[in-house]
């Protein structure tokens, strides 16, 4: 089954990503949701504050999908999500706007 990474910059608790992930899972995909712990809109791939510090994570399950929050930027979330996972399709989440 193909794996789809769903991410955003609004955080793993954002309504858009919470609606998108179960819909993709219902299509038969193996869904992996990894996004920042909090809203990181506008930071892009900034990594300056990511050096030499532990990276906190949080996870919770909803509708059979595990939503994982990473204490860092959207770029860090994607990097951590794809490490060692083989081929993964990436689907940026909806902003809900």
Please write down the HEC assignment for all residues of 25-64.
HHCCCEEEEEEECCCCCCCCCCCHHHCCCCCCEEEEEECC
User: Which residues are CB-contacts of 46 (< 8 A; sequence separation ≥ 6)?
Assistant: 73, 75
Region 42-51: what's the mean pLDDT?
A: 63
Helix, strand, coil shares, percent, the chain, to 5: 25, 30, 45
- The dihedral of CA 42, 47, 50, 56: what is its sign? positive
Whether pLDDT at 60 is above 80: yes
pTM of the model: 0.79
Region 78-90: what's the mean pLDDT?
A: 71
Segment 6-46, tens digit of pLDDT: 988 899 999 999 999 999 999 999 898 999 999 988 776 56
């Amino acid at each position: 089954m193909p794996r789809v990474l769903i991410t955003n910059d609004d955080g793993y608790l954002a309504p858009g990503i919470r609606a998108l992930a179960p819909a993709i899972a219902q299509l038969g995909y193996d869904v992996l949701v990894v996004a920042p712990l909090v809203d990181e809109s506008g930071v892009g791939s900034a990594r300056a504050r990511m050096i030499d510090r532990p990276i906190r994570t949080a996870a919770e399950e909803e509708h059979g999908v595990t939503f994982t929050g990473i204490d860092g930027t959207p770029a860090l979330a994607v990097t951590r999500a794809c490490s060692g996972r083989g081929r993964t399709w990436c689907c940026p989440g909806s902003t809900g706007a």
